[in-house]
Chain A
Amino acid sequence: MNPTTNLLSPALDTGSSPALATGTLLRLATAGSVDDGKSTLVGRLLHDTKSVLSDQLAAVERVSRDRGLTGADLALLTDGLRAEREQGITIDVAYRYFATATRSFVLADCPGHVQYTRNTVTGSSTADVVVLLIDARKGVLEQTRRHLAVTALLRVPHVVVAVNKIDLVDFDEDVFDRVNAEVQSVARELGVVDATAIPVSALDGDNVAERSPRTPWYSGPSLLEFLEALPPAVDPVHEAFRLPVQLVIRPQGAALDVAHRDYRGYAGQVASGVVRVGDEVVALPSGRRSTVTGIDLGPQSLDEAFALQSVTLRLADEIDISRGDVIASVADAPEPTQDIAAVVCWLADAPLRPGQRLLLKHGSRTVQSAVRSIDGALNLDDLRAVAAESLPLNDIGLVTLRLASPLPVENYSTSRRGGSFLLIDAHDGRTVAAGMVGATLPTAADAPTRPEGEEEWEI
């Protein structure tokens, strides 16, 4: 028996356990303006799903009492940093976990303050659903529009709008209807198809986990029921197969078992689609083809692998593939390109300017890039593009980039994974932008310069 299998092998008679029932994982992100009660809603979700244990609740109650509050301030469950408690605001994304009988949830609690928009981008980038909070008394604010715009831009598959503090408007159906109409109008403008609104009181728990008798006019699900019932965001079977190669596994003399001395596998996470043993694949950007002869997950052999599984592929031919390459299905492999038109969310203090050189990370490859032009910035008031010479912090703009070597990028609208990239400051390694590939331009042709002025483009 070789060393690894000892670690991976049974030593105990463990049997099976009833608590092992495992559902799927849903990632959600919250968004809302300051004081919309986001932390309270998150605290309420945790509390009502029994995810807050008694010692945590006791700590919250003790601190709430010390501050002269009458009830437990559930926001204290999530505001984890000293500065947040001091200022009573949420500064950074906090991750929380709760589960019901059918699903486990990873919740990214994103701050609402305008200067922290980048955190909303961070939370939304991995989210299957965004929970957008609106204060029933205030309706749609500039922040709400901005959050919805970011959600649309990042193509979060679902949006649910929690119209909060419904208790403070006496559970008035008319108020809810008015806010809902406003939300639907903005959502339509932004191309958000699916934005269900639910009247809630995060403070008292109405329609959060359980439906409230105080909103008899509302017949829809509670927020938690809605989240439990959401279908899986995408069915990756229908997407094209892509696997960015993270490492080449080639143990040679170091193999744990002599039988694996000649092992050669390409390790990575399937970004989209399904791959089966026997499939013909192509390595990008080289374009060399081969056939899948094996799929390994540790010592376990699989017949197929699908999106978001981390596996190692073995191929029939010893073709030149290294870290950073993408293994793709042959039929619809993307054409590698050195010219990219993309929407970027600029996240650094110093503005982005034309001519700037930055590193671009796509999948597992990082290349040099130069900003050829800034082709417009998004005005979040009317959601239209305006001319821009630079992009300041938190601005969203359209840019043209030239890459030092070709990348098999895809359109973000067809592939969230294949179309997303980071821009990185080569000097200090900071991530300075989130990028989404719009249209790829032919490699040979010069990128056309966009006309100056009020050109419209949809996000």
Chain B
Amino acid sequence: MSAVTAERPITTTPETHVLGQLDALESEAILIIREIVGELERPVLLFSGGKDSVVMLHLAAKAFWPAPIPFPVLHVDTGHNFPELLDYRDETVERLGLRLEVARVQDYLDDGRLRERADGLRNALQTVPLLDAINEHRFDGVFGGARRDEEKARAKERIVSLRDEFGQWDPKNQRPELWNLFNPRHRPGEHVRAFPISNWTELDVWKYIEREDIPLAPLYYAHEREVFNRDGMWLAVGPYSQPRDDEPVETRLVRYRTVGDMSCTGAVESPARSNAEIVVEVAASTLTERGATRADDRISEAAMEDRKKEGYF
């Protein structure tokens, strides 16, 4: 009935029953997703349409098959998203029959609850709308696609991570996480974030996307685009990222390794048009995905830690 049915044997090492790496990571993620659903009342999955959240959704589909995914998805829309990504988000949600909640940064800017930053970047502005949406819907378990290999502060975070009533993460006071026993209990007003793909690397994600034949948004595959070079990154010409006079616009064959806001996500030059070609390219890359493509993460050594403490993803 689908590509994953029976055609591919579960990878084992000869004669012993030991799970191959991708199967071990998949199983751990499914364990986590099921455990949060079993323990908590109102889970939600953060879904942006980006590759990590797509992998999470795919894992959730497997975890509950043949029943539908038993929770809604939430997207914090900065207003600076790539239109292709929003299209992909909407198509995917509709195909799976999921309920999509959208928290819009633009609404907060319009009525003055938030103000635009001097640099025009909206990534850090997502925290308040995210926390408000969690409170409004009384979500008690929030699935995120963060991976520990992405960033040093994320490398320190538990798979199931408590947030206080203000949504804050306290890195110095984390619960011990023992064996495979996850504990998402919390007091009223608190919630937990759960990161099912914590232990996956970027290469694992791509290998899994390839193995499972998961179609992504077209942005991830090589395409021709009008771009300009800023600080060594190729930024798309668009409503939120306009070249300055000294930044000539060129048409290049590019793709995106990560997809964030148009204003700060850089493309990489690449001819990779398929998942298989991307796996090869990522395996050979000498730059991290964030280093290569995110202007906002280059600012300070503790940028992510500070945002996370305040309740960011």
Contacts and interface: CB of A to CB of B under 8 A. Distances in A.
Interface stretch (B12-20, B77-85, B235-243): B12-20
Interface stretch (B102-110, B119-127, B182-190, B253-261): B182-190
Could you say which of A4, A121, A274, A422 has the most chain B C-beta atoms within 10 Å of its C-beta? A4
Interface string B286-303: 111001100000000110
A53 B288 contact: yes
Interface stretch (B45-53, B129-137, B150-158, B244-252): B150-158
A323 B65 CA distance: 17
B95 to A, nearest CB: 5
Interface string B1-27: 111111000110100111111111111
Contacts of A83: 172
Contacts of A99: 201, 203
Given A15-B276, A97-B148, A22 B22 contact: yes
A95 B147 CA distance: 10
Contacts of A255: 66-67
B176 A434 contact: yes
A292 B97 CA distance: 31
Nearest to A98: B201
Interface of B: 1-6, 10-11, 13, 16-28, 30-31, 34-35, 37-38, 57-58, 61-68, 92, 95-97, 148-149, 151-156, 162, 171-172, 174-181, 183-187, 190, 198-199, 201, 203-204, 207, 210-215, 274-277, 279-280, 282-288, 291-292, 301-302, 305
Interface in A146-193: none
B20 A24 contact: yes
Contact of A263 (B10, B22, B66, B156): B66
A34 to B, nearest CB: 17
Interface string A272-288: 00100000000000000
Contacts of B174: 92
A452 interface: no
Contact of A254 (B10, B20, B68, B210): B68
Contact of B155 (A96, A298, A420, A429): A96
Given A3-B97, A53-B287, A362-B181, 6 more contacts: A15-B276, A17-B280, A22-B22, A80-B156, A94-B155, A299-B1
Nearest to A233: B18
Contact of B34 (A267, A274, A299): A267
Contacts of B65: 4, 249, 256, 296, 298-299, 312
Interface stretch (A6-14, A196-204, A376-384): A6-14
A299 B10 contact: no
A248 to B, nearest CB: 10
A445 B156 CA distance: 45
A7 B95 contact: yes
A299 B66 contact: yes
A168 to B, nearest CB: 28
A431 B283 CA distance: 38
Interface in A15-70: 15-20, 22-25, 53-56, 59, 63
Given A299-B65, A310-B26, A235 B17 contact: yes
B21 A20 contact: no
A122 B180 CA distance: 10
B172 A18 contact: no
A94 B291 CA distance: 20
Nearest to A249: B67
A5 B185 CA distance: 34
A3 B67 contact: no
Given A237-B17, A246-B35, A82 B305 contact: yes
Nearest to A428: B187
Contacts of A267: 34, 63-64
Contacts, number: 283
Interface stretch (A219-227, A301-309, A331-339): A301-309
B176 A24 contact: no
A55 B292 contact: yes
A17 B288 contact: no
Given A92-B156, A125-B178, A364-B38, A298 B62 contact: yes
Given A15-B276, A56-B291, A251-B66, A8 B31 contact: no
Contacts of A249: 64-67
A373 interface: no
Nearest to B285: A53
A304 B23 CA distance: 15
A214 interface: no
A11 B185 contact: no
Interface residue range, chain A: 35 or more
Contact of B198 (A95, A297, A301, A307): A95
A80 B38 contact: no
Given A22-B21, A235-B17, A95 B148 contact: yes
14 contacts: A6-B95, A10-B3, A14-B210, A20-B211, A25-B24, A95-B156, A97-B149, A126-B180, A235-B16, A237-B16, A246-B35, A299-B2, A310-B30, A310-B63
Contact of B274 (A15, A94, A97): A15
B2 A431 contact: no
A6 B3 CA distance: 10
Given A122-B176, A246-B31, A296-B65, A8 B274 contact: no
A314 to B, nearest CB: 11
A81 interface: yes
A303 to B, nearest CB: 10
B21 A24 contact: yes
A4 B302 CA distance: 40
Contacts of B291: 53, 55-56
Contact of B27 (A235, A254, A308, A417): A308
A368 interface: no
B67 to A, nearest CB: 4
A17 B204 CA distance: 13
Contacts of A22: 11, 20-22, 207
Contacts of A431: 175-178, 183
B214 A7 contact: yes
Nearest to A304: B17
A263 B64 CA distance: 12
Contacts of B68: 3-4, 251, 254, 256
B66 A257 contact: yes
A11 B275 CA distance: 11
Contacts of B18: 24, 232
A402 interface: no
Contacts of A269: 27, 30-31, 180
A329 interface: no
B17 A306 contact: yes
Given A55-B291, A237-B17, A12 B213 contact: yes
